[in-house]
Structure 1
Amino acid sequence: MAPFVPKRLEPVAFGLFLTFFMTFIITGISTVLVASVDAPGFAALWFRAWMSSWAVAFPAVLVVAPFVRRILRVIVRPA
């Protein structure tokens, strides 16, 4: 597959994929802890939790990331 995302959109694409995978993993673990894997409707319960979490996490990362970058510029020592 040839690259198709413009360089200027790389931070948005990064946030999209990061939140996609992180919310998938975290909601999966949380759902297993609340309702066992063999519970009826487990997949639907997990999917609902994942989509609602992702809907919050993606915009949150886009808003918070610039602040985190500024903090890191202050606390990380140059190589």
Structure 2
Amino acid sequence: MIPSRFAPVAFGFILSGLMSCMVSGIATARALGAVEGFFGEWMSSWAFSWAIAFPVVLVVAPVTRRMVSVLVKSDA
């Protein structure tokens, strides 16, 4: 297990991995269709996408949290 102080980074890592996997899969399927070698093309696209998505999520997450806090009414 990792220390709790790394939770935001772990969250960003997992979130960016899952989202980039799904989005790159859909985009690759739309671009290529059901062709031989689809899986390899998808994984290549995913690796590239994840390399970009992970640092972007780490930068954008705090901004998004602030935006949500402005939009959401406090229960207090």
Same fold at TM > 0.5: yes
What SS does structure 1 have at the residue aligned with 2:33?
Answer: coil
Give the paired residue count: 75
Work out the CA distance in 1 between the residues paired with 2:39 and 2:65. Answer: 36
Identical residues among aligned pairs (%): 43
Considering only aligned residues, what root-mean-square deviation do their CA atoms show, in Å? 0.9
1:26 aligns to 2:23 (yes or no): yes
Structure 1: which 4+ aligned runs deviate by more than 4 Å?
none
Work out the CA distance in 1 between the residues paired with 2:42 and 2:65. Answer: 32
Work out the CA distance in 1 between the residues paired with 2:38 and 2:51. Answer: 20
Structure 2 spans left out of the alignment, 5+ residues: none
1:59 aligns to 2:55 (yes or no): yes
TM-score, with length taken from structure 2: 0.91
What SS does structure 1 have at the residue aligned with 2:74?
Answer: coil
Work out the CA distance in 2 between the residues paired with 1:21 and 1:71. Answer: 23
